[in-house]
Amino acid sequence: MRILAIETSCDETACAVYDPGVGLLAHALFSQIDLHAEYGGVVPELASRDHVRRLLPLVRKVLRESDTPRPDAVAYTAGPGLAGALLVGASTGQALAWGWGVPAVAVHHMEGHLLAPMLESPAPDYPFMALLVSGGHTQLVEVAAPGRYRLLGESLDDAAGEAFDKTAKLLGLGYPGGPAVAQLAQQGRDGVFRFPRPMTDRPGLDFSFSGLKTAVLHAVKSHADDAQTRADIALAFEQAVVETLAIKCRRALEQSGLRRLVVAGGVSANRRLREQLAQLDADLFYPRLEFCTDNAAMIAVAGALRLQAGERAGPQIAVRARWPLAEL
Ligand code: KG4
Ligand code: ZN
């Protein structure tokens, strides 16, 4: 079975062709980073319009590259994300499926991230703990079996990636902020600044990163007139986020008795995070670097799972800007 997958939830237009029995046959992505960079963040209307321009050429490319005249199903991201951007992928996916006379299936973007490590070898066995860290979400999810998720904790305010992006802005760095902050932090001196590890001193698995942003703001305002100090702040910020995530992961593993940890979403590309998590008493599973951030390969994997479970999208074109993973 060959699945065409479409991802347009935010600022990357992506397509993939995947056969669950064989593996990934083709994938392609167009990043809108340059389009949004001058605004310092994603402009939803511009994102939607660009998805319209980019999507069909990408579909043609992956079908051609994988030698697939007609796939057996179409999977598309139906949420969470930017409503207008999602609608481009959903309407195109539904129309293609209808034209080909094949089933369509609506995929949850975070389930895609969560299953991205299934494309690697070794892939994690079930059950496992998952840390999902993206621009919109920070979640700890207990995964008992395919499609069986229990949300154990999440961010009460900013997501980890969002905190990176906002800190980048405060430090005068470009968008997207995560890689830029991580790069600047490499020049930082250890111990010059120390920021709080929010919510680690009380029980529970929720996160809060908005206070950290305020701490960075104060540090920038009172000290950051030179490049070295900005690097010191970037390092202290990255250390605070990464250590906070690691503390909660350790706690989640201890509470659940699980020994496998999947880490996915844009922030899972962060090197310092990977170094810190390597110290946990667990087997770690990451997507390859290019599949940490948004892509369609992960949507194909989640789509395959949903199709195998008999799910089909109805004839209406419905997307959900907000869509709790727990509702799956
Ligand atoms: O998963 P993703 O591509 O999109 C969402 O679903 O949100 O994640 C994007 C987020 C952005 O906030 C970006 O700054 C962050 O992931 N990110 C990173 C790194 N690479 C991307 N954060 C920290 N370190 C990185 N190396
Ligand atoms: Zn994402």
| pLDDT tens-digit readout, 6-39 | 999 999 999 999 999 999 999 999 999 999 998 9
- Give yes or no for a contact between 307 and 3, defined as CB atoms under 8 angstroms apart: yes
Confidence at residue 175, expressed as pLDDT on a 0 to 100 scale:
85
Q: Is 126 helix (H, G, I), strand (E, B) or coil?
A: coil
Q: Count of H helices and E strands in the chain?
A: 10, 10
Confidence at residue 119, expressed as pLDDT on a 0 to 100 scale:
98
What does the alpha-carbon distance between residue 144 and residue 152 come to, in Å, rounded to a whole number? 12
Q: Please list, in sequence order, all residues whose beta carbon lies within 8 angstroms of the beta carbon of residue 249, skipping any fewer than 6 positions away.
A: 129, 131, 140, 261, 277, 280, 282
Q: Whose CA is nearest to atom 19 of ligand 1?
A: 178
Q: Please list, in sequence order, all residues whose beta carbon lies within 8 angstroms of the beta carbon of residue 65, skipping any fewer than 6 positions away.
A: 17, 25, 26, 28
In the predicted model, is pLDDT for residue 287 greater than 80? yes
Work out which ligand 1 atom sits closest to the CA atom of 136: 7
Q: Whose CA is nearest to atom 8 of ligand 1?
A: 266
Pocket test for ligand 1, best of 293, 298, 299 (most atoms within 8 A of CB): 293
What does the alpha-carbon distance between residue 276 and residue 196 come to, in Å, rounded to a whole number? 17
Cα 270 to ligand 1 centroid, rounded to whole Å: 9
Q: Please list, in sequence order, all residues whose beta carbon lies within 8 angstroms of the beta carbon of residue 294, skipping any fewer than 6 positions away.
A: 7, 9, 10, 11, 12, 14, 29, 109, 266
Edge-to-edge strands of the sheet including 148-154? 148-154, 138-145, 128-133, 260-264, 283-285
Tokens 């299953």 found at: 115
Confidence of residue 297 (pLDDT cuts 50, 70, 90): very high
Q: What is the pLDDT of residues 108-121, one digit of tens each?
A: 999 999 999 999 99
Confidence at residue 56, expressed as pLDDT on a 0 to 100 scale:
98
User: Does ligand 1 lie within 6 Å of residue 32's CB atom?
Assistant: no
Pocket test for ligand 1, best of 267, 270, 274, 325 (most atoms within 8 A of CB): 267
Cα 34 to ligand 2 centroid, rounded to whole Å: 18
Q: Whose CA is nearest to atom 7 of ligand 1?
A: 135
Average pLDDT over residues 149-177: 95
- Looking at residue 241, its amino acid is V
Q: What is the pLDDT of residues 48-83, one digit of tens each?
A: 999 999 999 999 999 999 999 999 999 999 999 999
Q: What is the pLDDT of residues 179-212, one digit of tens each?
A: 999 999 999 999 999 999 999 999 999 999 999 9
Average pLDDT over residues 291-316: 97
Indicate the average pLDDT of the chain.
97
DSSP codes joined into one string, 60-86: HHHHHHTT-SS-SEEEEEEESS-HHHH
Cα 54 to ligand 2 centroid, rounded to whole Å: 18
Closest CA to 302 of 75, 149, 86: 75
Cα 38 to ligand 1 centroid, rounded to whole Å: 18
What percent of the chain stands above pLDDT 70?
A: 100
DSSP codes joined into one string, 251-310: HHHHHHT--EEEEESGGGG-HHHHHHHTTSSSEEE---GGGTSS-SHHHHHHHHHHHHTT
- Walk me through the domains of the chain, giving residue ranges and CATH numbers: 3-115+291-327 (3.30.420.40), 126-286 (3.30.420.40)
User: Does ligand 1 lie within 6 Å of residue 81's CB atom?
Assistant: no
Confidence at residue 326, expressed as pLDDT on a 0 to 100 scale:
87
Work out which ligand 1 atom sits closest to the CA atom of 168: 14
Q: Please list, in sequence order, all residues whose beta carbon lies within 8 angstroms of the beta carbon of residue 222, skipping any fewer than 6 positions away.
A: none
Axis crossing angle, helix 44-65 with helix 83-100, rounded to the nearest 10: 30
Axis crossing angle, helix 177-185 with helix 160-170, rounded to the nearest 10: 70
- pTM score, two decimals? 0.97
User: Does ligand 1 lie within 6 Å of residue 266's CB atom?
Assistant: yes
Average pLDDT over residues 128-156: 97
Q: What is the pLDDT of residues 259-280, one digit of tens each?
A: 999 999 999 999 999 999 999 9
User: Does ligand 1 lie within 6 Å of residue 41's CB atom?
Assistant: no
Cα 286 to ligand 1 centroid, rounded to whole Å: 14
Neighbours of ion ligand 2 (CB under 5 A): 134, 294
Q: What is the pLDDT of residues 213-237, one digit of tens each?
A: 999 999 999 886 799 999 999 999 9
What percent of the chain stands above pLDDT 90?
A: 95
Confidence at residue 25, expressed as pLDDT on a 0 to 100 scale:
98
The DSSP bridge pattern shows strands 283-285 and 3-7 to be: unpaired
Considering only residues 37 and 302, tell me which one the structure prediction assigns the higher pLDDT. Answer: 302
